[in-house]
């Protein structure tokens, strides 16, 4: 079997070359992705009965590969909700090493990401973090529930792995519902380390409710999203202002992480714009025509090619609204809500 860690993270091959290999592999081995590509193909739609025939499958694969050689964005993007409705895996019938689930209550249908190579995720999250931050000198704090209580959270798994990299003993999950111990902050300073604090939007705001927290000026706070809950909502701009004020940090020290259970790579932002790691590519897609890539500064659905997802599906269309700049950086603008469809609806700009 191919060593995918080498393929995904290598810099000897271009992104397109790696993506082609991953596409071919997933088309061959992931029944869900293959079915999606076949059904989406024009000929397959009109020749329904031949969808699963081997010759048809080969023909479609070659056709898509030809298109991919011209333009990598022509790989069909599987709607990310497929992780809720089907087993998205290139190893059907095999037990996964890790199982990540999207957040939600027990009665909600949650996405399940079957991770067949935990080492690949470890490499992705560590290399990804190191792409943006100096992990060697960092003390990682997570103001989130611990891994033991949440073994299916990809985010908490990631924070745990980052914590495990630090030999100083200072990295840890902070106890929830308690103020930060000022002595712990002093100890980080004394050892000349850089403090990096992870937390979800409202978790961090709740932490600030306990007490004034004066973090060392070189600290970084990374919010991991969750700006909208069933009880509360805050904009990213407002959140960052509050965090900057509360932690007494310059605004440039408040960062964001974009990740989800369905992706094994993360994007980070030190301002409004997220940047990706070299094995992940983001495009903005026309919501009415998901194969179409939108030009910079036009809002649409965020499409992701995440090569670290090699054992599930790398070509995904999220349900998030986003916009891209000319440098290939992107903003996340919340969930995509289709405008009111059907029925009489007087629209001031249209009617």
Give the shortest CB-85-to-other proteins separation in angstroms. 4
Per CB under 8 A, which region of 6-14, 36-44, 238-246, 262-270 contacts other proteins?
Answer: 36-44
Residue ranges in 165-285 assigned as alpha helix (H): 182-190, 201-210, 236-246
φ, ψ of residue 125 to 5 degrees: the values are: -70, -35
Give the shortest CB-52-to-other proteins separation in angstroms. 10
Interface with other proteins, residue 288, by CB under 8 A: yes
Residue 226 and residue 235 in contact, taking contact as beta carbons nearer than 8 Å: no
Residue of the chain from 7, 19, 22, 32 that contacts other proteins (CB under 8 A) = 32
Residues in Cβ contact with 233 at an 8 Å cutoff, skipping those fewer than 6 apart: 227
Residue of the chain from 48, 95, 107, 209 that contacts other proteins (CB under 8 A) = 48
- List the end-to-end C-alpha distance of the chain, in Å, as a whole number: 59
150: which 2 tokens?
């949440």
CB neighbours of residue 276 within 10 Å: 21
Interface with other proteins, residue 108, by CB under 8 A: no
DSSP 3-state assignment of 335?
strand
Stretch (H or E) spanning 260: none
Residue of the chain from 5, 13, 40, 126 that contacts other proteins (CB under 8 A) = 40
Give the shortest CB-82-to-other proteins separation in angstroms. 6
Give the shortest CB-26-to-other proteins separation in angstroms. 13
Among 198, 199, 169, which Cα is nearest to 184's? Answer: 169
Among 237, 190, 189, 238, which Cα is nearest to 217's? Answer: 189
Gap between the Cα atoms of 73 and 315, Å rounded:
9
Comparison of 36 and 143: residue with beta carbon closer to other proteins: 36
Comparison of 25 and 36: residue with beta carbon closer to other proteins: 36
Residue of the chain from 6, 62, 71, 85 that contacts other proteins (CB under 8 A) = 85
Residue of the chain from 56, 67, 79, 172 that contacts other proteins (CB under 8 A) = 79
- Binding interface with other proteins (CB under 8 A): 32, 35-36, 38-40, 45, 48, 51, 76, 78-79, 81-82, 85-86, 287-291, 337-351
């Amino acid at each position: 079997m191919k060593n995918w860690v080498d393929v995904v993270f290598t810099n000897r091959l271009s992104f397109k070359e790696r993506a082609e290999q991953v596409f071919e592999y997933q088309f061959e081995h992931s029944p869900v992705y293959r079915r999606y590509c076949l059904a989406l193909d024009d000929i397959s739609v009109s020749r329904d009965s031949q969808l699963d025939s081997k010759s048809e499958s080969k023909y479609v694969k070659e056709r898509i590969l030809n298109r991919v050689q011209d333009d990598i964005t022509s790989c069909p993007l599987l709607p990310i909700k497929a992780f809720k409705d089907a087993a998205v895996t290139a190893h059907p019938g095999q037990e996964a090493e890790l199982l990540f689930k999207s957040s939600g209550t027990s009665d909600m249908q949650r996405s399940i990401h079957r991770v067949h190579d935990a080492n690949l995720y470890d490499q992705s999250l560590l290399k990804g973090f190191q792409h943006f931050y100096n992990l060697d000198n960092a003390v990682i704090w997570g103001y989130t529930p611990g891994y033991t209580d949440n073994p299916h959270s990809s985010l908490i798994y990631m924070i745990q792995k980052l914590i495990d990299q630090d030999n100083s003993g200072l990295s840890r999950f902070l106890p929830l519902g308690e103020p930060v111990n000022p002595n712990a902050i002093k100890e980080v300073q004394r050892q000349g380390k850089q403090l990096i604090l992870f937390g979800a939007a409202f978790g961090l705001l709740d932490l600030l409710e306990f007490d004034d927290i004066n973090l060392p000026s070189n600290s970084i706070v990374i919010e991991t999203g969750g700006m909208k809950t069933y009880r509360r909502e805050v904009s990213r701009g407002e959140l960052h202002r509050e965090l900057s004020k509360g932690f007494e940090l310059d605004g440039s020290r408040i960062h964001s992480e974009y990740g989800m259970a369905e992706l094994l790579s993360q994007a980070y932002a030190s301002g409004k714009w997220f940047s990706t790691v070299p094995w992940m590519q983001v495009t903005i897609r026309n919501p009415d025509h998901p194969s179409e890539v939108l030009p910079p500064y036009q809002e649409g659905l965020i499409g992701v090619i995440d090569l670290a997802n090699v054992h599930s599906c790398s070509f995904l269309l999220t349900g998030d609204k986003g916009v891209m700049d000319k440098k290939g950086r992107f903003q996340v603008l919340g969930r995509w809500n289709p405008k009111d469809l059907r029925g009489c609806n007087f629209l001031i700009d249209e009617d």
